[in-house]
Structures are given as C-alpha cells and as structure tokens.
Structure 1
Amino acid sequence: SCRYRTSNLLLAGIIPGPKEPDPDECQKFVRLLVNELLRLWKIGIKIKTRRYPDGRLTRVALVGIICDKPAAHKMGGFGSHSHRYFCTLCWIEHNERNSAAAFMKNAFPPRTDQQHRAYMGEYTKLGTKTAKANFVKEFASRFSEFSRLPYFDMCRMIVIDPMHNLLLGTDILLPC
C-alpha cells in the first residue's frame, strides 16, 4: 500500500534513551517542531506545482496529536496519567472513576483550553523543581510547547488513539 511508503511518512522526531525523559525534557524536543509549525502557520510556504509554476501560498496547522495516554499527558502539559486528576477533558478525580457519575455527561467540571493555558503560564514562572512538582501535584498541569500554537486547543486536540483506547483496554480508565 502507498500509505506505508517511506516517501509518504513524516518522522517528527525520536527522543533518545536510555531512559524515558521527564515531561519537561520532552518539551525541549518538541520546541523545534512547534517553531516550524508557527512559521508555517504565520508565514506559510510557497509550493510550486504544474498548475502554479510560481508557487501557491500554503499555510499549515496541526489539527491533532494522536498518541497513547502517557504521551498525551506529556505532550499536552497535563499531570501524569496516574495523577489524582487523570482526565484531560474534565476534573474527575481518580477515586471517582468507578462511580456512576463517571459515566454521566457533564457530571464533572470540564477542563478548558483557557484554564489549562493559564495554569501553564503559572508553571513557567516557577523557579525550582520542587515548586514545579508541587504545582503539578495540585493542578495537574505543566508547560507544553504546543500552547504556543494560537489555534491549538490543548484539551480537545490531543486524542488517545483507538488501539490504545479500545484494543488494549485503557478505555476503562477514560470515562470522558
């Protein structure tokens, strides 16, 4: 299938080991990608085609990040997937995930992009690792480079992929 040809793949990056980096270290790798996405959104790029030999201005937007739950939390600036506030869509607490309310729409206050960005802004002002760890423990939020994209909704545009969500059974942990 042409879908899996290497000429049709985009490898945005590989984060080197030997250990998995912490969420703040991951953002250093994402920064370069976001810089490029910002340039492609604001300035765009001229692409020459047979129909437009002088080039046609094309702008690019990231419309979603699809990954497993731990990566979604790291990329989106959320606390750990095992945090007391484990959901990226609402403020359900971990001990409420098996309650009847967990499966009812709007039973818990929603997380909003505006609120999450405000928490990310507060996180960046903290100076020490201890202060940052305490902040994440309380608010389940940290900085994400993707928040620099003005059009990107941090709570709605990061999606858990179907394989991890359904086939591997992690949907049990995701009431929203």
Structure 2
Amino acid sequence: PNGKDIRAALIIASCDIPGARKLCGHISALASCHRCEKRANNRNFGGMADMSDWFIMKDPVEHRQKALEWRRCKSNAERERFVKENGVRWSEILRLPYFDPIRFVVVDPMHCLFLGIAKWITKRIWIDEGVLTEKDLQSIQKKMDEFKVPSDLGRIPGKIHCGEGFSNFTADQWRNFFLIYATVALWNHLPGKDRKILTYFVRVCTILVRRIVEINDMKEAHELLIKIIKLIEECYGEEKITPNLHLSLHLCECSYDYGPLYSFWCFSFERMNGLLGNSNLIVSIFRIILFHLAKINNKLFIRIFA
C-alpha cells in the first residue's frame, strides 16, 4: 500500500554519435573522439603515425571539472569559446556521481559498423570513386538475385542498382549484404586492394556479430580494422577516414566492459522506433489511452470530445 522503493543505476549509454555526444557533454564527433585523445585533422581522422596516442583514454575526472567550468561561464558566447577550447559542455547526466562519461558511453555497433562503415565504404568510396559503375551494380544485382536465402533471415537487401546505388538500406540490410552477399557479388568488380578491404571487413563483421566471442577473436577483429583504415588511407587519402572508422577501433574496449556487441547494439531499439513511427499505430495507441481515461473519469471523456 505504501509503494516500493526502486533503486537503479545507469551503467551504459548506447546510441548514435550525435546522441552520445549530447547526452554526456562531449563536443562534435567531427572535432575529436569522446573516448581517447585523438583529435580530427581538418575534419577527418586520418594520419596513422600517432596511433599510439589514440588509445589513451580521456580522464573522466577532468571531463567533470571542465563541465563544471562550462556551467560557470557567464554568457553563451563565453560558453561557445570554452567548448571550442576544451571540447566539453555540461550535461545533466553528470549529476550522477558514479557515471563515467568516457567509459560508460559505448560505440554502438549498429550505427558504427553497418550504417557507418559498411555504407561509407560501399557508397562514398567504391561508388563515388568510380570503382563500382552503374554497369557493375546491374551485374551485382543479377548475381544477388541468384541467391536463395532462408525466409527467417531478416530484411534482405533491396535493389542496389536503383537511384545512386544501395539506396535506403537499413542497418539489417547492410549486415546481411556483407555477411551473405558481398564477397561473391562484389569480388570480380573490385581491384586487389579493395578486395582486401572487403575480405577484412567481412571477417570483422563475422566475428563481431557473434553472441559468444573469444578474446583472441576480438583482438583479430581489432587488427583487421586497423588494416582496413590503413588501406583506405593509402588508396583514397586521409580525408576518407571518418569518425566512424576511428570509433570502430574502440569497439573491442566496449566489448571487454559489456560483453559481446550483440548485448548492447541498438537494433531492437531502432525497430521499436520504426514501429512507433507508424502513424496507424500511433492513432491506435491514442485511442486506447482515451478509452482508459474515459473509463477512469467519464467527465474527462465528455470534456475531451465536447
């Protein structure tokens, strides 16, 4: 009758890059990494010479101190200057004394690997750089149409040769494309170094989507991601090294803290967003809410529909 006390702790924040930055008071991903001391070079994360500095984790105590300093700024202009200099702003989540704004903010594998790297490699490198032509895309589509896949596989890739190529792929479709179709469908259309990028990335995805992953496998995936980044930089230049490519090198750290990537990726939450975005569903939910309100208070029902 007196209710129950419920105690909970927030120990992980898993979301896309902009959401993670806003949630915990970090600067834009185009400026610096939120987990290590790596800063962008002209809005890209290329340059592998200083890689030894990439994995020095930021100090959460220093982050909190700077966030408090941001709060003490007297004007918006002063706060903007402070953010540009220090890369930190205040967030209400920092009121939780135990919350680590560096370590608890994981790199979401769904956004990083599939909506990030898979999409970037295919569309912004292979298609935009002319490696895959319209004729190649039609040939790839023909090869993919020959595949017979189980009905319970999930969302299979759509028509890749329509529009600018690979239009409107979901994260699920990118995952299935690289795990099932890509090696066979793309192989004959890629030069040697791009075949290496493809092979390494498919292997990375194969390892990281497992529900049970061994430490040695995680180390292999990490080394392959480094090779992918080096190959992209060597073949296409530093400007092609995006924040997602850099953040992928922190996936193993996140897995060591929270288990296989399967346990904290955002697939289920994104599916729920899709359901909630369905207008017919929203109308149905609203009608149910009104019905229950009417049962509780008939006068309220009359006022709503008066």
- TM class by smaller structure: 0.5 to 0.7
Match of 1:72 in 2: 20
**How far apart are residue 107 of structure 1 and its match?**
4.5
Letter of the 2:78 counterpart: A
Note the aligned Cα RMSD (angstroms): 2.1
Unaligned runs of at least 5 residues, structure 2: 118-242, 251-306
Q: Using a 3 Å threshold, how does the CA distance of structure 1 residues 139 and 152 change in structure 2: closer, same or farther?
A: same
The DSSP-based 3-state class of the residue aligned with 1:159 is coil
Unaligned runs of at least 5 residues, structure 1: 1-44, 47-56
Q: Using a 3 Å threshold, how does the CA distance of structure 1 residues 89 and 101 change in structure 2: closer, same or farther?
A: farther
Match of 1:35 in 2: none
Q: 1:117 aligns with which of 49, 59, 64?
A: 64
The DSSP-based 3-state class of the residue aligned with 1:62 is coil
Q: 2:40 aligns with which of 94, 98, 105?
A: 94
Highest relative contact order (Cα 8 Å, sep 6+), 1 or 2? Answer: 1
Normalized per residue, the structure richer in helix is 2
The 8 Å contact of residues 101 and 107 in structure 1, kept in 2 or not, is answered as no
Q: 1:108-158 CA distances to partner (integer Å, 9 max, x unpaired)?
A: 643111010000010000011110000000100000111100111010111
1:5-154 matches, cutoff 5 A? 46=4, 58-83=6-31, 86-95=32-41, 97-101=45-49, 103-104=51-52, 106-107=53-54, 109-154=56-101
Letter of the 2:36 counterpart: C
**How far apart are residue 102 of structure 1 and its match?**
5.4
Q: 1:63-107 CA distances to partner (integer Å, 9 max, x unpaired)?
A: 111100111111110111112xx2111121101822224544x54
| TM, length-normalised to structure 2 | 0.36
The 8 Å contact of residues 67 and 88 in structure 2, kept in 1 or not, is answered as yes
The 8 Å contact of residues 91 and 110 in structure 1, kept in 2 or not, is answered as yes
Q: Using a 3 Å threshold, how does the CA distance of structure 1 residues 166 and 133 change in structure 2: closer, same or farther?
A: same
Q: Displaced runs of 4+ in structure 1, greater than 3 A?
A: 101-104, 106-109
The DSSP-based 3-state class of the residue aligned with 2:14 is strand
Identity of aligned residues (%): 34
Q: Count matched residues.
A: 119
**Rg comparison, structure with higher value:** 2
| TM, length-normalised to structure 1 | 0.61
**How far apart are residue 60 of structure 1 and its match?**
0.5
Match of 1:171 in 2: 244
